[in-house]
Chains A and B, each alone.
Chain A
Amino acid sequence: MKSKHLLSIKDLSIADINNILTKAEKFLDKKNKKKNSFSDKNIINLFFEDSTRTLTSFELAGKQLGASVINMSIATSSIKKGETLIDTAMTLNAMDPDILIVRHNMSGVPYLLSEKVNCSVINAGDGSNEHPTQALLDALTIKRHKKNIAGLEVAILGDVLHSRVARSNIYLLNKLGAKVRIISPPTLLPPKIEDLGVKVFKNLEEGLKNVDIVMVLRMQKERMSGTFVPSEKEFFKFWGLDRKKLNNAKKNALVMHPGPINRGIEIDSDVADDIGRSLILEQVKLGVAIRMALIEQLIK
């Protein structure tokens, strides 16, 4: 990797990505797990936004590598905490950590902090910008089931407008040669999203045709101001993924979701819980391995 930070998928080369995926697979093997080689390293999880899986996943990853991990959750729902943001980062920086893992509800914050601190910064999700480790773990999940990512038809379904997961996945899947399409109500499509190299569908059935992977996204109500979709009921009827609609995709199409799931809104339980089709829990599991690989890479 060229940079000492991981802020965006855009900064990674194909070789970087493959390298991380390969390393992560190595960590899946139980006997490679407990390594104390990083016992002198300190990792700080600086989370300005609520998180369960990402925070836990990073914490576990750090601990399994033997590093000391400190979690700091700072609620910033009260706005204008800007000064505290830089000040907090500078304070932590003075304690000389090796990695700062940052999540924030504003786009660009990990980048801003990376310019102020000496250690490596990992973006654990910033506003509607990116969530690079999610995209990496998604790629690993796909790779383990479909072998080759190049040439796959991947549909990203739901609230793309507010989704950082969608953006990171679009960049990464395009880099690895997959064909990405977006299926979304027109009000939840970001402006000019086609320019990122995706096909856009407003109709779910049409959009699912010939698809290998469906990535379902949650409606991010916390980032919405006003009504984007009249009701959850209507959203589910037209854009929620159920068995019948999934039948429009390829027969062996697989379903993914970055979580948390809202059953009956963007996905039907019948599909979400189908171990033959749903990779949702496997995504969580592979997340730890990806983050271990990344931490190891950046600390070295």
Chain B
Amino acid sequence: MTNMKNIILKNAFIVDPSQKINALGSIIIKDKIIIDLILNKNMTFDKNNFNVIDCKGYLLCPGFVDIKCHLRVPGEEHKENLSYASHSAASAGITSLVCMPNTDPIIDNISMVELIQRKARKESDVKIFSTASITKKIQGKDLTEFGLLKEAGAVGFTDAIKAVDDATVMMRALKYASAFDILLLQHPEEKSLSKSGSMNSGVLSTKLGIKGIPEEAEVLQVDRDLRLTEMTNGKIHFYNITTAFAIDSIAAAKKKGVKVTCSTSPHYFTLTENDIRKWRTYAKVSPPLRNKKNMESIKKAILNNQIDCITSDHSPHDTDSKRLPFEQASPGVIGFESLLPITLKLINDNNLSVERLVELLSFNPSKILKLKSGTLKKRRPADLVLVDYKKNIKLSTSLIKSKSNNFPYENINGRGKIIMTIVDGKIIFNDRSFNIK
């Protein structure tokens, strides 16, 4: 869809936590940028110079920023590519993606970061930012060139679904990162406790004859890294928090002033280990799905601000990677299309404001990685999303636009439908509610 004209989105329910806005109003977009935001006024606009879109009844907010997804490029293009990922994300209201470096080859040098950027410019409508690995080849030994990689455009550093397990390496990484104001993002699993397991440890793993990963594997990693972060005065983010233990540790560290943030993903507050049923590999994720008690703790932590943001943890896999004995199957689920409906339903079910939703999906993740989006402030990029936020939907594989379809949410209820997604002033998704010239 091309936009010859500039856009006015009028009569929208505008929510922008960055300016504490929660009101009816209009937004004017010109040359990729938000040029004005007008509240509480019924205005008439010149239809000849503008595409005027009446957004009555819809939520208008900054586009969602997903700081953890696997785009499988390069190396596993049979599972996903940037063009599929972009379509899928756009239809889910996500305007910025932050991809993981555990590709083949690994994103641990400048040319790989540049490759992602070059391909993203060509193939993707949504913004794609690359992370780089903390250690070369994700081997947990030697640090990558943090400074040069940041200059090249890496927005954060992570060893993806492996934690840096050597404490000295992690300590140095945290220290060195502080010279460049770089954020390290850590997978929360202590390796020696988790390496041989493939589901949560408990009576269910005993019944299925599968080696388990104890909940404690998470808090052990988190506790060690919190100590190291405090010691080095560094900063850290934990992805995919799944246990009450880790929530408590992170909350206590925040109270002490440690620079820590954390996130979780929809499957950790929607599914439990019981969803594995009989060795169902679509419910195999890393870290593993936990019991109901932990799932409830994660929900609570999202609602009371202990968890800072929600990522999709989009992890596409082809059928051959999943149609295997449980212990051999690859971990991960498709995540873009379910990100909004599951999160909004949680917010609605607990009578929280839509503002919290926008914080979790846009404002906070953007702030954590210091991206320019996540706000509707004037002169910022026009990355925004229009949502029918009162609509109930049923999640199903038929919604999936990703190249893979390892989707675990068949027939789960969700809330919210994306009406329009705009990136840099360009409409990249329109559910056909509007006829745009």
B188 within 8 A of A: no
- Least distance between A245 CB and chain B CB atoms (Å): 26
Cα of A130 to Cα of B207 in the assembled complex, Å: 9
Say whether chain A's binding surface is mostly helix, strand, loop, or mixed: mixed
Cα of A195 to Cα of B326 in the assembled complex, Å: 23
Our pick among A83, A109, A225 for the contact of B320 (Cβ within 8 Å) is A83
Mask of B407-425 contacts with A, CB within 8 angstroms, 1/0: 0000000000000000000
B201 within 8 A of A: yes
Cα of A162 to Cα of B326 in the assembled complex, Å: 16
Known contacts A128-B209, A192-B206, A107 near B328 by CB under 8 Å: no
Known contacts A108-B279, A196-B203, A164 near B209 by CB under 8 Å: yes
Known contacts A82-B325, A85-B325, A86-B323, A190 near B279 by CB under 8 Å: no
- Least distance between A124 CB and chain B CB atoms (Å): 14
Mask of B237-261 contacts with A, CB within 8 angstroms, 1/0: 0000000000000000000000000
Our pick among A79, A83, A112, A191 for the contact of B279 (Cβ within 8 Å) is A112
Say whether chain B's binding surface is mostly helix, strand, loop, or mixed: loop
Cα of A162 to Cα of B12 in the assembled complex, Å: 60
Query: Do the beta carbons of A126 and B209 come within 8 Å of each other?
Result: yes
Cα of A83 to Cα of B205 in the assembled complex, Å: 24
Which chain B residues border A111 with CB–CB below 8 Å?
Answer: 278-279
Query: Do the beta carbons of B325 and A108 come within 8 Å of each other?
Result: yes
A259 within 8 A of B: no
Query: Do the beta carbons of B212 and A191 come within 8 Å of each other?
Result: yes
Which chain A residues border B328 with CB–CB below 8 Å?
Answer: 79-80, 82, 106
Our pick among B206, B323, B327 for the contact of A106 (Cβ within 8 Å) is B327
Cα of A86 to Cα of B329 in the assembled complex, Å: 13
Cα of A164 to Cα of B212 in the assembled complex, Å: 16
Among residues of A, the one whose C-beta sits closest to the C-beta of B206 is A190
Our pick among A79, A80, A82, A192 for the contact of B203 (Cβ within 8 Å) is A192
- Residues of B within 8 A of A (CB-CB), count: 23
Our pick among A109, A193, A225 for the contact of B325 (Cβ within 8 Å) is A109
Which chain B residues border A193 with CB–CB below 8 Å?
Answer: 203, 206
- Least distance between B318 CB and chain A CB atoms (Å): 11
Query: Do the beta carbons of A107 and B279 come within 8 Å of each other?
Result: yes
Question: Within residues 189 to 243 of chain A, which ones have a CB less than 8 A from any CB in chain B?
Answer: 190-193, 195-196, 225
A129 within 8 A of B: yes
A181 within 8 A of B: no
Known contacts A108-B278, A112-B325, A127 near B209 by CB under 8 Å: yes
Query: Do the beta carbons of A191 and B323 come within 8 Å of each other?
Result: no
Our pick among A85, A129, A191 for the contact of B201 (Cβ within 8 Å) is A191
Mask of A102-116 contacts with B, CB within 8 angstroms, 1/0: 001011110110000
Q: Which of B196, B203, B209, B326 has the most CB of A within 10 A?
A: B209
Which chain A residues border B279 with CB–CB below 8 Å?
Answer: 107-108, 111-112
Question: Within residues 200 to 242 of chain B, which ones have a CB less than 8 A from any CB in chain A?
Answer: 201-203, 205-212, 214
Query: Do the beta carbons of A196 and B207 come within 8 Å of each other?
Result: yes
Among residues of B, the one whose C-beta sits closest to the C-beta of A104 is B325
Which chain B residues border A127 with CB–CB below 8 Å?
Answer: 209-210, 325, 327
A167 within 8 A of B: yes
Query: Do the beta carbons of A225 and B326 come within 8 Å of each other?
Result: no
Cα of A85 to Cα of B211 in the assembled complex, Å: 21
Cα of A127 to Cα of B199 in the assembled complex, Å: 15
B324 within 8 A of A: yes
Question: Within residues 243 to 259 of chain A, which ones have a CB less than 8 A from any CB in chain B?
Answer: none
Which chain B residues border A128 with CB–CB below 8 Å?
Answer: 209-211
- Other contacts beyond A191-B202, A195-B203: 10, CB < 8 A: A86-B323, A107-B210, A107-B326, A107-B327, A108-B325, A112-B279, A128-B210, A129-B208, A191-B206, A225-B196
Contact sample, A vs B, 17 pairs, CB 8 Å cutoff:
A80-B328, A82-B324, A82-B329, A85-B324, A86-B323, A107-B208, A107-B209, A107-B279, A107-B327, A108-B325, A111-B279, A112-B279, A127-B325, A128-B211, A191-B205, A191-B212, A193-B206
